[in-house]
Amino acid sequence: MVEIKYVPSICPYCGTGCGINFVVKDGKIIGVEPWKRHPVNEGKVCPKGNFGWQFINHPDRLTTPLIKENGEFREASWDEALDLVASTLKKYADTDPNKLGFYACARSPNENIYITQKLARAGCGTQNVDHCARICHGPTVAGLATTFGSGASTNGYDSIEEADFIFCIGSNNMEAHPLFGRKIIRAIKNGAKLVVADPRFTPTAKLAHEYMQFKTGTDVALMNGMIKIIIENGLQDDEFIKNRTKGYEEMKEVAMKYDLDKVAEITEADPEQIERVAIEYAQAENAAIVYSLGITEHSHGADNVMSTANLAMLTGNLGKIGGGVNPLRGQNNVQGACDMGALPSDYVGYQKVANPEITKKFSEAYQIDLPTTPGLTLVEMMNAAHAGDLKVLYIHGEDPVLSDADIKHTKEAIANLEMLIVQELFMTDTAAEADVVLPAAGWGEQEGTFTSGERRVQWLRKAQEPPEGTMLDWKIMEEIAVRMGRPRELFHYENAAEIWEEIRELAPSYYGITHERLLKPEGVHWPCLDPEDPCEPLMHKDKFAHPDGLGVFQALEHRGPVEVVDDEYPLLLTTTRILFHYHAAMTRRCETLDKEVPTGFIEINTEDAAERGILNNEIVKAYSRRGEIEIPARVTDDIKKGIVNIPMHFTECAANMLTNSDSFDPKCKMVELKACAIQVEKL
Amino acid sequence: MAVNVNDMFYAYSGNEAIKEKGEYGGVVTTIMKYLLEEGIVDAVVAVEEAADLYDAKPILITDPEDVIKSAGSLHCGTLNLAKFVSKYLDGARDMKIAVTTKPCDAMTLKELMRKRKVIEENVIMIGVNCGGTMPPVPTMKMIRDVYELDPADVIKEEISKGKLIMETADGEKAISIDELEEDGMGRRENCQRCTMNIPTNADLALGNWGVIGDLAGKATFVEVCSEKGADILGKVIDAGLIETQAPIEKGVTIRSNIDNIMVKQAMAQREKDFAGTSGDILEVFAEYKEEFSRCMKCYGCREACPLCFCDDCCLEAEGPEWVPGGYTPAAPFFHLTRMVHMVDACTNCGQCSEVCPCEIPVSKVWATVNQKVRDIFGYYSGVDNEEPLPFTEFGPKSYRQY
């Protein structure tokens, strides 16, 4: 007789944190069904929620460790692979730990991420640990920490339904965070006005009352212009500015230089519209700002983020439901990956490496002397590898070859390593470049927690056994640490809940989130200092998270993209994610999603296409100073003239063959993924 | 004991433990346990409380001792078990099952049986009355905001005499359903226009409506609706597991009055829901075009629709050029195609609206069209057994076996 059960879990794609029910038949996941009791999505999901489980038992799953010899992979035993990895790590840990680097996986549960940074720090003595937030919402973490004292979303996601006015900039949430998009639809039905500012007339823009088209990379100028209009009309919240902030005058001095004419020239947006939107934003009772990677993925990403913070503080739209600055975090657990200390400057719970007392606490807990100098960021690690200064890179479930800017540069850097270790489910573009591949258990096959973009920590249940031959990530890392000669008790846990206990003990902002509380469908929002505290999602209610409790305005000048268009490369390329995929390794192995969108495309404005004689669906050549690809054209009026867009999922026509890794944001080390100069030609 | 179709009883379990956990005498639980113990069925499909009172999930029970897990009612159990049977149990092709069915579950199973997507001979439907179900998350919000109670403190919710009652350790709080629904709360919107409250299309129809006198609250009203139902009930009574009494005449009237009032309210709701539309199917579609234009093509309505059962769906991207892959909003044809496939059979079960991330009132649209099917073809989906399927058959000239 067949056995069927439903096992509740959390979706592993975007940062919205939707609940689903796995359907498990005779011990195998065979589908998902709505989990209507889940507080975030009430049983509703996007295409990825409906079909994103299909990769789980895919025949491509890696089930045996692989070691590369003479350019070819051969199968290896776990013992051999683990010994090889451990001896290589140990060689540098004993001599020069800064030659080692670690990437943690923002799709993986918190517990795996915590152990990854622990292997780096407690196992190897290096602070070189980072993850893909660096090229995603790193600017949010840096920008909002500078302004508000905490680098996370100020409000819970439900809050948006109570907004009167929503200014959405650089977020196409109907594709990238669809169940947050649903909350925007509900807000509109509740009477809110929606303005979407984007170079593309996206599905989200199509919902808007006003669509503001503007040029990629001119966000600071746009928002400075809005600030000036608000101040000139006397619509700033003087009381909020006086009581709760500092730095207003300095900010004002810079913003007042941004005359509407000048702003319209830089942004190419309609000046009357800018003025109208600024005034309506300031006049609304509860006005919310929503943004995502359109704001962050620039060489001035942190400045963009801080501009949104300036606007919100100027109008007193913080610490209240329906207002706030709402960054939509990328991956399901990229919030958690930051929280867990997979950052070269922070231990778990944003405790600073540079603080000697904090580093002393962790040196004791981890039984090793740790440096107080922050380690290298993800981009810096790759550059160090390129320069020959980093020798070993340990990648836990990330795919930088596909997702980092400038694929050629990434591959050259990897080729320069003594050893690349990749812990993965599938043979990704990055795994293919590895020296050792370790097959890991995946989503649905383990317990642990995800933290969504609204800081909601949620418990994951195991629905099926991992495939034979794979291991849990944290167990792989335990075995490596022990083989390196580290004490087993430092890395040994009976289960994921035990790892969570250690996280609670070390990170005050998580202390109140007990395992028992996590078993409820609501999960718990951090900060949560006390198990008795209800821990509501709204932050900065009466004071900001800085020690003096004040928000800090930032004076910001428009800088714009580092690489600008010229006669040779006259089109500005932006990159995006589409609704039906999330990166590549998982969704491209989901049959329904793959059938829906089997390959990439370049969106090009109808006029730009006509000038080049390009027809819809025609394969064209796109090239930049870094590389060249052949890709089908999608000719559309939905993108601004002069701007083109490529979704980043597809290795056969990879956007990042063209993007620029040369210059990055000094404030957060973000590379410019959303603006580079290219040319498109008929083949 | 000889039991016949159309017989009615007051019934209650002979087993004390079941009587305690099950509601109104624990008859459903007793019958299900008996069917498993005697090997009459291989499995029972029912609903179980998951995280709490607001979280329902289907459960496939093979051990008779586990039947008790499904005892009691969950008003937030908004599932359609017909989908579970057709999708995950292969339509009971290779197993005999008994299913606890709300009227919409029974209606949908009937439709699937007529198309041989569920094997009628292998399925026993134990029907339970339903005055409507409530969406879990909005209901919890309503309990907090309107009842001013902590949802976690509610031990039981009940619909009685037009009121929605929340019971806590400290007592009861009742609010008129009409008032709640005026303000957009209460039952799911499809439930508000549901015209089938007593599942006489199942094999047995059970519920507390009409139980008065000494047995009020302690027994269930049972109506025998099919030969299969008569056979089962006879056996359970003969086995001494269920005690029965003839129903009080006035109780029978009360039960039928409750049903009539609810049907009348549902018809009024239909008038309201369908008011903006007139004319034919295309006009209905045109009326809702703006709402459909938000569709993100998640396929959720197709996935949730118990009557969307094709193994190889023509809407997937390798299919028609007129619904191109990867484009949102999905082409109107996406919904029109689905409509042609299911709307004659649509049972207003509400699953499509419940899963729609774009807040498109899909269930209401298809109920509007299905009402026209009812009006024009005289076919009441899920209830009429003899009429030809309007979009499948022309009548006696074209009956076919599936």
pLDDT tens figures, A45-100: 999 999 999 999 999 999 999 999 999 999 999 999 999 999 999 999 999 999 99
Q: Are residues B126 and B221 in the same domain?
A: yes
Among the listed ranges A220-229, A472-481, B67-76, B107-116, which one has the minimum average pLDDT value?
Answer: B67-76
Closest alpha carbon within chain A to B59: A5
Closest alpha carbon within chain B to A187: B359
pLDDT tier, B237 (very low <50, low <70, confident <90, very high otherwise): very high
pLDDT tens track for A378-417: 999 999 999 999 999 999 999 999 999 999 999 999 999 9
Q: How far is A529 from chain B (nearest CA, A)?
A: 23
More confident residue, B320 or B172: B172
φ/ψ (deg, to 5) at A582: -135, 100
Q: B135–A44: do the CB atoms touch at under 8 Å? A: no
Task: Give the per-residue pLDDT at A295.
Answer: 95
Q: Are residues B194 and B106 in the same domain?
A: yes
Alpha helices in A128-177 (DSSP H): 138-148, 173-176
Count CA atoms closer than 13 A to A39's CA, side-chain side: 18
Q: B135–A25: do the CB atoms touch at under 8 Å? A: no
Q: B88–A46: do the CB atoms touch at under 8 Å? A: no
Closest alpha carbon within chain B to A35: B55
DSSP per-residue string spanning A648-683: TT-GGG-GGGT---S-B-TTT--B--S-EEEEEEE-
Cα gap A152→A305, rounded to integer Å: 11
Total of domains in chain B: 3
Among the listed ranges A156-160, A274-278, B243-247, B386-390, which one has the minimum average pLDDT value?
Answer: B386-390
Question: What percent of chain A has a predicted confidence (pLDDT) above 70?
Answer: 100
By residue range, what is the domain housing residue B159? 144-184
Cα gap A492→B321, rounded to integer Å: 55
pLDDT tens track for B310-352: 888 889 866 667 888 999 999 999 999 999 999 999 999 999 9
Picking from B221, B243, B265, the residue at the C-terminal end of a domain is: B265
CB atoms within 10 A of CB A77: 11
Residues 6+ apart with CB under 8 A from B330: B295, B296, B297, B323
Least Cα distance to A354 among A338, A372, A375, A341 occurs for A372
Task: Give the per-residue pLDDT at A91.
Answer: 98
Cα gap A282→A286, rounded to integer Å: 9
- The CATH number covering residue B286 comes to 1.10.1060
Q: Are residues B126 and B148 in the same domain?
A: no
Picking from B265, B288, B316, the residue at the C-terminal end of a domain is: B265
The closest CB to that of B136, out of A31, A37, A578, belongs to A37
Closest alpha carbon within chain A to B60: A4
Cα gap B38→B36, rounded to integer Å: 5
Residues of A in contact with B50 (CB under 8 A): 6, 8, 37
Task: Give the per-residue pLDDT at B17.
Answer: 77
Q: A34–B62: do the CB atoms touch at under 8 Å? A: no
Q: Are residues B56 and B20 in the same domain?
A: yes
Q: A50–B303: do the CB atoms touch at under 8 Å? A: yes
User: From the CA atom positions of chain B, what is the Rg in Å?
Assistant: 21
Q: B76–A37: do the CB atoms touch at under 8 Å? A: yes
Cα gap A237→A468, rounded to integer Å: 61
Q: Are residues B166 and B35 in the same domain?
A: no
Task: Give the per-residue pLDDT at A377.
Answer: 96
Answer whether A64's CB lies under 8 Å from A439's CB. yes
Residues of A in contact with B318 (CB under 8 A): 595
Q: B137–A36: do the CB atoms touch at under 8 Å? A: yes
**Residue B397 reports pLDDT greater than 80:** no
Two tokens at B138?
A: 């909005």
Map residue B24 onto helix, strand or coil: coil
Q: How far is A346 from chain B (nearest CA, A)?
A: 36
**Residue A664 reports pLDDT greater than 80:** no
Cα gap A407→A470, rounded to integer Å: 29
Least Cα distance to A323 among A153, A159, A185 occurs for A159
Q: Is B271 inside any structural domain?
A: no
Q: Name every residue in B having a CB less than 8 A away from some CB of A.
A: 42-43, 50-52, 54-60, 62, 76, 78, 87-89, 95, 135-138, 293-294, 296-300, 303-304, 316-318, 325-326, 328-329, 354-359
Please, what is the Cα angle at A437 between A431 and A441, to 5 degrees? 100
Strand order in the sheet with A524-525: A448-451, A456-460, A524-525
More confident residue, A224 or A664: A224
Q: How far is B388 from chain A (nearest CA, A)?
A: 32
Task: Give the per-residue pLDDT at A665.
Answer: 82
Q: Are residues B252 and B104 in the same domain?
A: yes
Residues 6+ apart with CB under 8 A from A217: A298, A300, A560, A561, A572, A674, A675
Cα gap A578→A553, rounded to integer Å: 34
**Residue B232 reports pLDDT greater than 90:** yes
Strand order in the sheet with B171-176: B156-160, B163-168, B171-176
Please state at what angle helix A301-314 crosses helix A248-255, rounded to 10 degrees. Answer: 110
Q: B354–A36: do the CB atoms touch at under 8 Å? A: yes
Q: What value does the mean pLDDT take over residues A457-485?
A: 98
Residues 6+ apart with CB under 8 A from A615: A609, A633, A635
In A228-370 the beta strands, taken as DSSP E runs, fall at: 245-246, 287-291, 325-327, 346-347, 351-352
Task: Give the per-residue pLDDT at B71.
Answer: 82
Strand order in the sheet with A210-212: A210-212, A193-197, A165-169, A287-291, A325-327
pLDDT tier, A213 (very low <50, low <70, confident <90, very high otherwise): very high
Q: What value does the mean pLDDT take over residues A342-352?
A: 97
Tell me if the bond preceding B329 is cis, omega within 30° of 0: yes
Answer whether A49's CB lies under 8 Å from A32's CB. yes
Query: Positive or negative, the Cα torsion across A581, A587, A591, A594?
Result: positive
Q: A50–B317: do the CB atoms touch at under 8 Å? A: no
Q: Is B85 inside any structural domain?
A: yes
The closest CB to that of A4, out of B60, B354, B359, belongs to B60
Task: Give the per-residue pLDDT at A49.
Answer: 98
Least Cα distance to B207 among B297, B132, B129 occurs for B129
Q: How far is B319 from chain A (nearest CA, A)?
A: 10
pLDDT tens track for B286-305: 999 999 999 999 999 999 99
Strand order in the sheet with B43-49: B56-61, B43-49, B97-101, B123-128, B204-207, B220-224, B8-13, B242-245
**Residue A342 reports pLDDT greater than 70:** yes
Q: Is B138 inside any structural domain?
A: no
Q: Is B139 inside any structural domain?
A: no
Residues of B in contact with A51 (CB under 8 A): 299
Two tokens at A140?
A: 């949010």
Q: What value does the mean pLDDT take over residues A147-174?
A: 96
Q: Are residues B372 and B303 in the same domain?
A: yes
Query: Positive or negative, the Cα torsion across B137, B139, B145, B147?
Result: negative
pLDDT tier, A178 (very low <50, low <70, confident <90, very high otherwise): very high
Q: Is B208 inside any structural domain?
A: yes
φ/ψ (deg, to 5) at A647: -65, 145
Q: A178–B355: do the CB atoms touch at under 8 Å? A: no
**Residue B395 reports pLDDT greater than 80:** no
Q: Are residues B299 and B335 in the same domain?
A: yes
Residues of B in contact with A39 (CB under 8 A): 137
CB atoms within 10 A of CB B108: 30
Surface-to-core class of residue A514, CB atoms within 10 Å of its CB (0-12 exposed, 13-18 middle, 19+ buried): middle
Task: Give the per-residue pLDDT at B399.
Answer: 67
pLDDT tens track for A507-554: 999 999 999 999 999 999 999 999 999 999 999 999 999 999 999 999
CB atoms within 10 A of CB A63: 13
Map residue A235 onto helix, strand or coil: coil
Residues of A in contact with B355 (CB under 8 A): 34, 43-45
**Residue A337 reports pLDDT greater than 90:** yes
Residues of A in contact with B300 (CB under 8 A): 44-45, 50
Q: Is B2 inside any structural domain?
A: no
Question: How many CB pairs (< 8 A) connect A and B?
Answer: 125
Q: How far is B356 from chain A (nearest CA, A)?
A: 6
Q: A186–B359: do the CB atoms touch at under 8 Å? A: yes
Residues of B in contact with A174 (CB under 8 A): 296, 328
Cα gap B158→B177, rounded to integer Å: 11
Q: Are residues B88 and B202 in the same domain?
A: yes
Residues of A in contact with B57 (CB under 8 A): 6, 21
Task: Give the per-residue pLDDT at B312.
Answer: 87
Q: A4–B88: do the CB atoms touch at under 8 Å? A: yes
Q: Are residues B203 and B318 in the same domain?
A: no
pLDDT tens track for A452-470: 999 999 999 999 999 999 9
Q: Which of B327, B355, B363 to mutate to test the interface with A (most CBs of A within 10 A)?
A: B355
pLDDT tier, A296 (very low <50, low <70, confident <90, very high otherwise): very high
Q: A521–B55: do the CB atoms touch at under 8 Å? A: yes
Q: How far is A570 from chain B (nearest CA, A)?
A: 27
Task: Give the per-residue pLDDT at B318.
Answer: 64
Tell me if the bond preceding A59 is cis, omega within 30° of 0: no
pLDDT tier, B401 (very low <50, low <70, confident <90, very high otherwise): low
The closest CB to that of B137, out of A2, A39, A580, belongs to A39
Q: Is B1 inside any structural domain?
A: no
Secondary element (H or E) of residue B113: helix B103-114
- The CATH number covering residue B179 comes to 3.10.450
Cα gap A354→A446, rounded to integer Å: 34
pLDDT tier, B16 (very low <50, low <70, confident <90, very high otherwise): confident
Task: Give the per-residue pLDDT at B320.
Answer: 67
Q: A203–B87: do the CB atoms touch at under 8 Å? A: no
Residues 6+ apart with CB under 8 A from B45: B58, B59, B60, B61, B81, B84, B85, B89, B97, B98, B99, B100
Map residue A491 onto helix, strand or coil: helix
CA distances from B245 to B222, B249, B253 (A): 10, 12, 16
Rounded mean pLDDT of chain A?
A: 96
The closest CB to that of A42, out of B52, B137, B294, belongs to B137
Q: What value does the mean pLDDT take over residues B191-219?
A: 96
Please, what is the Cα angle at B29 between B212 and B38, to 5 degrees? 130
Map residue A542 onto helix, strand or coil: coil
Across chain A, how many H-helices and E-strands are there?
25, 28
Q: What value does the mean pLDDT take over residues A620-645?
A: 97
Q: How far is B58 from chain A (nearest CA, A)?
A: 8
φ/ψ (deg, to 5) at A130: -155, -175
The closest CB to that of B356, out of A23, A37, A44, belongs to A44
* ipTM for the complex shown: 0.96
Q: Is B111 inside any structural domain?
A: yes
Q: Are residues B252 and B373 in the same domain?
A: no
Task: Give the per-residue pLDDT at A81.
Answer: 98
Task: Give the per-residue pLDDT at B316.
Answer: 85
Q: Are residues B156 and B228 in the same domain?
A: no
Picking from B218, B234, B265, the residue at the C-terminal end of a domain is: B265
Q: How far is A585 from chain B (nearest CA, A)?
A: 18
